[in-house]
């Protein structure tokens, strides 16, 4: 592993916006599906686990919560490994871990064993696949990045539509142990997806021996790349995003985790209850690419952070209103609107982060923001499960989740509008496809990035270094291209 090619993007290589990038997108589609759908799909087995081990809803909710906490909390570790070894080897090892965890969980004799195997080992394996796939997607796409993000994010609902009914069928025919074993085999596909993550290579230029010797000397004198760049915390845009995202995930994942159990509590049969997640996922499939197309529009892309805020608000209001559902048709309506809003959030969350920090710092920024979200993820579903065990009323669970998500939308919207708004005495920069058109402005600036007033609304950083690496990243704040 130490001899792997580190896929740090060369400075003279632009994102191809196609070509092998579509294969990278296909791999990211599968990885995103497993990473986000698995914690929800596992909830199909909760009823059997409760019967097997004599535990409560809150105890089973810890399985999904630990999975998500590992997916988020190991972000800095993933950043360090990717910066040291490259995306491809990290993803292939992660696929082995993900599969091993589910296979070992099929032999569990207590709920603690499932926490360790499914939660920790499988969660770590999925994390080692998820973050590198996003990094590679950001390197291969620039102008088409919003669409690529939307298509990749659509892997989550597609996998949910498949894994939820598949889990129900496996449980019926083979029990939860056989279901875990077969799902562990499916996760080996992560290794194949990792093999698709080919590093970008710069064009070879003919050089004589003297020039080659000079280049080698320059490479040796070049300072070693930071494995984890903490300078992103100097960017006010990043701080606002990280705080809002941490609040959002407190309630974002709660409804899908408890949806199936809620339907079963109403007296619906298991297959009919699991169908709700399929409905949610089906709507989500179309919501994500559509939102990606909208985010890539000329007028919308510089303001995608406000579109992201609207998506979060829409999701929270859906939770609050739908908490009053008392029958199966009401839950179906809830799943339709929740799938729409959830798809919008999924398509925009990493596009906005890419726009704020740029390509060079995206690996570190992603790892750090996922770590901040991990604590909230670890508290959210179990806290909702404890509330359910105390009140025996799902209405309170959905109300709490909705209020937390609404608060997040307020934080990111007001934070960007009040703290990062443009100076009123300077004219708005001319935009072309969501980015400043004049390349001369960049050349006249000090080394480190653009000025505060020239960055697009909503992603303007407090420090000039916030847009470092803008030349490599397409999207908001990229002065070279014509979210």
Note whether 290 and 361 are same-domain residues: yes
**296: domain CATH number?**
1.20.1250.20
Specify whether the CB–CB gap between 188 and 63 falls below 8 A.
Answer: no
Is residue 167 a part of any domain in this protein?
yes
Q: Are residues 190 and 266 in the same domain?
A: no
- With respect to residue 439, please indicate whether it lies within any of the assigned structural domains: no
Q: At what angle do helices 394-419 and 254-265 cross, to 10 degrees?
A: 160
289 within some domain: yes
- Each residue's pLDDT tens digit in the chain (483 positions)? 333 334 445 555 677 777 888 999 999 999 998 988 888 788 888 888 888 888 887 788 788 878 877 888 888 888 888 888 888 999 999 999 999 999 999 998 889 999 999 999 999 999 999 989 988 888 888 888 888 888 888 888 788 778 878 888 888 888 889 999 999 999 999 999 999 988 877 666 555 555 656 556 655 555 566 667 788 888 888 889 989 998 998 888 788 778 887 888 887 887 788 788 778 878 888 888 888 888 888 888 888 888 999 999 999 999 898 878 778 888 899 889 998 998 899 888 888 888 888 777 887 888 888 888 887 877 777 788 788 878 878 888 889 889 999 999 999 988 888 876 554 443 443 333 344 333 334 344 444 444 444 444 444 444 444 434 434 444 444 433 332
Same domain? For 142 and 28 the reply is yes
Q: Which of 150, 175, 198 marks a domain boundary?
A: 198
In this structure, the answer to whether residues 183 and 236 fall within a common structural domain is no
Measure the CA–CA gap between 418 and 421, rounded to whole angstroms: 6
Q: Domain of 69?
A: 15-198
pTM summary value:
0.68
Question: What pLDDT is recorded for position 441?
Answer: 40
- Contact present, 251 and 342 (Cβ < 8 Å): no
Domain count, the chain: 2
Provide the token pair at 457: 């609304």
Asked whether residue 188 falls in the same domain as residue 247, the answer is no
Domain boundary among 198, 213, 248: 198
Whether residue 390 is contained in a domain is answered as: yes
* Residue 279 domain flag: yes
In the chain, how long is the greatest CA-to-CA distance?
79
Same domain for 234 and 376: yes
Same structural domain, 190 and 236: no
Angle at 255 between CA 354 and CA 40, to 5 degrees: 70
Are 338 and 382 members of one domain? yes
User: Is residue 261 situated within a structural domain?
Assistant: yes
Considering the domain architecture, whether residues 401 and 296 belong to the same structural domain is answered as yes
Q: What is the pLDDT of residue 95?
A: 93
256 and 124 inside one domain: no
Last residue of a domain, one of 394, 419, 444: 419
Contact present, 330 and 322 (Cβ < 8 Å): yes
449 lies in some domain: no
CB 130 within 8 A of CB 35: yes
Q: Would you say residue 9 lies in a domain? A: no
Name the helix (H) or strand (E) containing 365: helix 362-391
In a shared domain, residues 366 and 233:
yes
Are residues 274 and 386 located together in one domain of the fold?
Answer: yes
């Amino acid at each position: 592993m130490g001899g792997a090619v580190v896929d740090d993007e060369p400075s003279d290589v632009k994102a191809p916006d196609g070509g092998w990038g579509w294969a990278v997108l296909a791999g990211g589609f599968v990885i995103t599906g497993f990473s986000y759908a698995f914690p929800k799909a596992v909830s199909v087995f909760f009823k059997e686990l409760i019967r097997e081990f004599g535990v409560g809803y809150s105890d089973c909710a810890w399985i999904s919560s630990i999975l998500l906490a590992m997916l988020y909390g190991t972000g800095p570790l993933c950043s360090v490994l990717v910066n040291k070894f490259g995306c491809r080897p990290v993803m292939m090892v992660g696929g082995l871990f993900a599969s091993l965890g589910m296979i070992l969980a099929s032999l569990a004799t207590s709920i603690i064993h499932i926490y360790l195997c499914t939660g920790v080992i499988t969660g770590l394996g999925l994390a080692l696949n998820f973050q590198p796939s996003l990094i590679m997607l950001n390197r291969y796409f620039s102008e088409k990045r919003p669409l690529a993000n939307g298509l990749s994010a659509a892997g989550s609902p597609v996998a949910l539509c498949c894994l939820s009914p598949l889990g129900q069928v496996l449980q019926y025919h083979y029990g939860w142990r056989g279901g875990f074993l077969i799902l562990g085999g499916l996760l080996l596909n992560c290794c194949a997806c990792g093999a698709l993550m080919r590093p970008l290579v710069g064009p070879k230029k003919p050089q004589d021996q003297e020039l080659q010797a000079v280049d080698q000397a320059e490479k040796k004198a070049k300072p070693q790349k930071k494995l984890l760049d903490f300078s992103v915390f100097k960017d006010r845009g990043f701080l606002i995003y990280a705080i809002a995202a941490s609040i959002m995930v407190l309630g974002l994942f709660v409804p899908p985790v408890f949806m199936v159990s809620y339907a079963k509590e109403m007296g619906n049969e298991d297959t009919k209850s699991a169908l709700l997640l399929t409905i949610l996922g089906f709507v989500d499939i179309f919501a994500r690419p559509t939102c990606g197309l909208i985010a890539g529009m000329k007028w919308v892309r510089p303001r995608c952070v406000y579109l992201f805020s609207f998506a979060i608000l829409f999701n929270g209001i859906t939770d609050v209103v739908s908490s009053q559902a008392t029958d199966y048709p009401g839950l179906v309506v809830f799943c339709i609107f929740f799938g729409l809003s959830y798809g919008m959030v999924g398509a925009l969350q990493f596009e906005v982060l890419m726009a704020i920090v740029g390509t060079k710092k995206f690996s570190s920024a992603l790892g750090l923001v996922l770590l901040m979200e991990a604590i909230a993820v670890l508290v959210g579903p179990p806290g909702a499960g404890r509330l359910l065990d105390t009140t025996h009323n799902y209405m309170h669970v959905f109300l709490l989740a909705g209020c937390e998500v609404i608060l997040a939308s307020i934080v990111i919207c007001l934070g960007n509008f009040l703290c990062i708004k443009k100076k009123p005495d300077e004219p708005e920069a001319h935009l072309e496809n969501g980015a400043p058109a004049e390349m001369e402005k960049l050349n006249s600036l000090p080394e480190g990035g653009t000025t505060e007033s020239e960055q697009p609304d909503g992603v303007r950083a407090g420090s000039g270094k916030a847009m470092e690496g803008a030349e490599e990243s397409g999207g908001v704040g990229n002065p070279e291209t014509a979210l």
